[in-house]
């Protein structure tokens, strides 16, 4: 990957440049709501205007105002990974939320508590084993069975039909609402486009067989959730989903803000643009062909390796491996060397954990910082249920 991997579509001055940064400490997270709205609109266009087909994952979004923007587009079905995300989207007007993470112990107890506190929100969880089903007995939380499509992260192996059937029967026998199947095929993220589609479609064929086997056992499958951002195009092109007996929903979340990785995974004609950047300053020139800015891996996430980002407007600059607070960047021979104090706008390679690195975000429109907003669902709740945070105010 190089700095040129991120298509911006127009000049930096007309999109990301902030006119007055005299009082802005860097690194800082900037979110551009007009681009967010465009990305949401593009997703709905790709879904034929059917907002009910999208169950966006909120691990990317994090901000209450952006969750409210989604509900303003009549998107009311979501999935999330933490109880803080669950709480935040309930406050944003969600109607149906799946917490798509295996919950055990006090984590499950907290979800039950949140469900009881929000009776107007339909809340569900994932299970993959009979011993998990009992956790939810007697609660108002519904259950999706988690299927492992080959990612080998969570879920029941998709070829084990009998085990899947027995688990669904366990849910029904316990008097719990069976909500459907969760199938996250994220293992194709680094696969070339044509191969990704072929392999994803083969998995969907198997998924339909599972549904038919459950239906032959007189078990209705209300919903099937597939497809984060990498396999979103695969679900769009799978014709058999269009007349399926169940409600099929896709769950891309990265598309709301976009990043370098998703720009390489999704067709340019989809029209997405990065809506979240890290604003940084050049703080050092340690060698003639090197500069360093203040956006190490505590600012721009490094979980996908180096380079961690692309520099907008400067495709010739090559970010190198960061340390905690420093990001060295190589300048090519003959390239213009940024001066000390110059501002660089960085598009993350992985936006989801990057947003989670910041407590606050600048909301920017037309070159002006409209406000600073808390990254509401950043991190996690206090680890002991009912305890108050000892964090200094």
Residue 215 contacts residue 168 (beta carbons within 8 Å)? no
Alpha carbon distance 180, 195 (integer Å): 28
Query: Which class in CATH covers the domain with range 34-257?
Result: alpha beta
* pLDDT digit string, tens, across residues 249-259: 999 999 999 99
Q: What is the pLDDT of residue 7?
A: 44
Residue 4 has pLDDT above 50, yes or no: no
Contact residues for 343 (Cβ-Cβ < 8 A; gap 6+): 18, 21, 26, 279, 280, 281
Q: Check whether 120 has a pLDDT greater than 70.
A: yes
pLDDT, tens digit, for every residue of 45-70? 999 999 999 999 999 999 999 999 99
Q: Over range 139-167, report the average pLDDT.
A: 96
Q: Which of 306, 334, 330, 326 is nearest to 318 (CA)?
A: 330
What percentage of the chain exceeds 70 in pLDDT?
95
Q: Do domains 3-30+270-374 and 34-257 have the same CATH topology?
A: no
- Give the residue with greater pLDDT, 23 vs 15: 23
Give Cα 29 distance to the centre of its chain. Answer: 17
Mean confidence (pLDDT) of the chain:
94
Position 12 scores a pLDDT of: 52
Cα atoms found within 13 Å of the Cα of residue 214, Cβ hemisphere only: 30
Distance of alpha carbon 353 from alpha carbon 82, whole angstroms: 13
Domain ranges of the chain: 3-30+270-374, 34-257
Class of domain 3-30+270-374: mainly beta
Percent of the chain with pLDDT over 90: 92
* 297: CB partners within 8 A, 6+ apart: 308, 322, 323, 324
pTM: 0.95
pLDDT of 390 reads: 66
Paired strand residues for 278: 29, 346
């Amino acid at each position: 990957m190089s700095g040129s991997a991120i298509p911006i579509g127009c000049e930096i001055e007309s999109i990301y440049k902030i006119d007055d940064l005299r009082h802005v400490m860097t690194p800082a997270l900037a979110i551009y709501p007009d681009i967010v709205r465009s990305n949401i609109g593009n997703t709905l266009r790709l879904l034929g205007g059917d907002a009910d087909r999208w169950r966006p994952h909120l691990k990317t979004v994090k901000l209450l105002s952006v969750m409210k923007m989604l509900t303003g587009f009549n998107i009311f079905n979501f999935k999330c990974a933490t109880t803080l995300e669950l709480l935040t989207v309930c406050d944003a007007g969600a109607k149906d939320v799946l917490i798509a993470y295996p919950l055990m112990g006090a984590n499950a107890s907290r979800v039950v508590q949140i469900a009881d506190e929000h009776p107007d929100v339909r809340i569900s969880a994932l299970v993959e084993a009979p011993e998990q089903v009992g956790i939810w007995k007697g609660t108002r939380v519904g259950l999706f069975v988690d299927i492992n499509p080959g990612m080998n992260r969570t879920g029941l192996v998709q070829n084990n039909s009998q085990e899947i059937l027995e688990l669904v029967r366990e849910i029904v026998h316990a008097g719990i609402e069976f909500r459907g199947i969760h199938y996250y095929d994220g293992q194709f993220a680094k696969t070339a486009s044509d191969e990704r589609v072929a392999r994803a479609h083969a998995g969907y064929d198997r998924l339909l067989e599972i549904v038919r086997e459950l239906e032959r056992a007189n078990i209705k499958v209300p919903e099937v959730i597939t497809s984060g951002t990498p396999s979103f195009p695969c679900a769009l092109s799978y014709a058999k989903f269009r007349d399926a007996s169940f409600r099929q929903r896709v769950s891309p979340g990265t598309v709301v803000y976009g990043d370098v990785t998703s720009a390489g995974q999704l067709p340019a004609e989809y029209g997405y643009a990065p809506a979240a950047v890290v604003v940084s300053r050049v703080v050092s020139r340690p060698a003639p062909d090197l500069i360093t800015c203040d956006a190490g891996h505590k600012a721009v996430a490094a979980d996908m390796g180096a380079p961690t980002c692309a520099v907008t407007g400067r495709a010739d600059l090559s970010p190198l491996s960061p340390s905690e607070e420093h990001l060295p960047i190589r300048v090519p021979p003959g390239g213009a060397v940024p001066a000390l104090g110059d501002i660089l706008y960085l598009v993350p390679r992985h936006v989801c954990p990057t947003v989670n690195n910041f407590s606050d975000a600048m909301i920017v429109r037309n070159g002006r910082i409209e406000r600073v907003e808390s990254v509401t669902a950043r991190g996690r709740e206090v680890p002991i249920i009912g305890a108050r945070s000892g964090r200094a105010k």
